[in-house]
Amino acid sequence: MKKIKFLILITSISALGGLLFGYDTGVINGAQFYLTKYFQLDAATKGWVVGSALLGCLFGAIAAGPLSIRFGRKKSLIISAILFTLSAWGSGLPSYMAESVSLLVVFRIIGGLGIGIASMNAPMYIAEIAPAEKRGQLVTFYQLAIVLGFFAVFLVTYFIGNSLTEAESLAFGWRRMFWSELIPSGLFLFALFFVPKSPRWLLLKNRNEEAFVVLTKIHGEENATKELIEIKKSLEKETDKKKVNYFAKGVLTIIIIGSVFSLLQQFTGINAVLYYGADIFEKSLGFGKDDILKQQVLLAFVNLVFTLVAMVTVDKFGRKPLVYIGSIGMLTGFLLLGFTIQQQSIGVLSLLGVLIFIGSFALSMGPVVWVVLSEMFPNKIRSVAMSVAVAVQWAGNYVVSQSFPMVTVSEVNNNSFWNGSLPYFIFSFFIIVIIWFTYKFIPETKGKSLEEIESIWNS
């Protein structure tokens, strides 16, 4: 029982990187509704303000691999926590230092660097400390933390938005929304000093005794010995990390599969809904300001509930079944939303479509992608391979977030045929691709150790 409590504690602390990922993503949703009007942003500039953080995420994910190899997963997460804190502090400053969108963008990019580093290192760290039979559930803590971050920030922005007049919200309310992130980022930074280093990273650095101590705390002495032998055998089978050829056919194939799967998570359109939910509710669905904030809280609640469902089923049913079930649900939700917008019969069915999509994503591609990425790569290439896959994901996120507002206002989308529904049919196409790609290329990893999963690619 003591070992389980310790495991859950260090998993929860490292998963706070996910909470800040969700919080930072959600805060721009609430804040951009006001800062867009404050700075009188056009569609392209608004896309840049929202999407700028994603460029930071991209470069943060690229840097995360080398940082993780050299300094370890724990210290990389500490670096990300510092960047989160700096970003939260600076994003509220433009009103007092200068009326500058550019300054806001700079701090958003800094926050993005923190997200990029955490989004690779947090799930990988959890996967490397977790027992095989609980790994899916524990890595899903990361996705749960992302969702809790969304939920928390929607409640915060709802409270701030409703406690101020519209003029006050436009003048300084959105800055308070950014500053509210200082609380979770400070907690994350403090708590990280109490988690151990990853045992697999320690073994990569030939720090065997330290690795054994950590494994013993997590698994008990007998199981720790078995785990240590298994990991060392895996490392001994591979060449020295300096000689790893990432362009060798077998290695490159694994990286490409992981990267495409990661990219497809973004092409579901999830972050179009999460970043621009306020716009969707206001313009596409015709809700007013108070309704928008209520719908956002409802959206976050559905996201939370179905993430909890995923947590208790991912190790029971497996990764691939959840993707299939969730993809069918996402497709149903977006087709329902798309057709109601196209036919200009917007109402309860349109809102239901959004909620079905969110719930289905939370059940499937939300948590499963992080679980699969954290466990599919061999020990020696895990840091670099996951860095590439996560960087590709952030690149896809940027493309979607930058293009969505422009497609939304385009003449093609607003002609008499589409009536504003085109983006949701585009996303529906990619959801169909997900079903095919998962069936064809993604192995089922339920219940297997990281070393057993490695052997799948070698067979």
Question: pLDDT, tens digit, for every residue of 144-164?
Answer: 998 898 888 878 887 887 887
Are 85 and 115 in contact, with CB atoms under 8 Å apart? no
Q: What is the reported pLDDT for 241?
A: 47
CATH superfamily of 2-195+238-458: MFS general substrate transporter like domains (1.20.1250.20)
Segment 237-244 long-range contacts (CB within 8 Å, at least 24 positions apart): 238/378, 238/379, 238/380, 239/380, 241/69, 241/204, 241/380, 244/380, 244/381
The structural domains of the chain, with segments of one domain joined by +, span 2-195+238-458, 199-237
Q: What is the reported pLDDT for 197?
A: 93
SS3 228: helix
Which residues lie closer than 8 Å to 331 by C-beta, 6 or more apart? 428, 431, 432
Q: What is the reported pLDDT for 188?
A: 94
Q: According to DSSP H, which parts of 192-248 are helical?
A: 199-204, 208-219, 221-237
Extract the residue ranges of the chain whose pLDDT is less than 50: 98, 239-241
Segment 350-357 long-range contacts (CB within 8 Å, at least 24 positions apart): 350/284, 350/285, 351/285, 351/295, 354/273, 354/280, 354/299, 355/298, 355/299, 355/302, 356/329, 356/330, 356/332, 357/269, 357/273, 357/329, 357/330, 357/333
Nearest to 178, CA basis, from 280, 45, 59, 29: 29
Query: From CA 438, how far away is CA 163, in angstroms rounded?
Result: 46
Token reading at 191: 């708590």
Query: From CA 243, how far away is CA 8, in angstroms rounded?
Result: 36
**Burial profile 222-232: b = 16 or more Cβ within 10 angstroms, e = fewer:** eebeebbeebe
Query: From CA 34, how far away is CA 232, in angstroms rounded?
Result: 54
Query: From CA 230, how far away is CA 451, in angstroms rounded?
Result: 7
Are 21 and 118 in contact, with CB atoms under 8 Å apart? yes
Q: How many residues does the chain have?
A: 459
User: What pTM did the predictor assign?
Assistant: 0.81
Q: What is the reported pLDDT for 459?
A: 59
Q: What is the reported pLDDT for 16?
A: 92
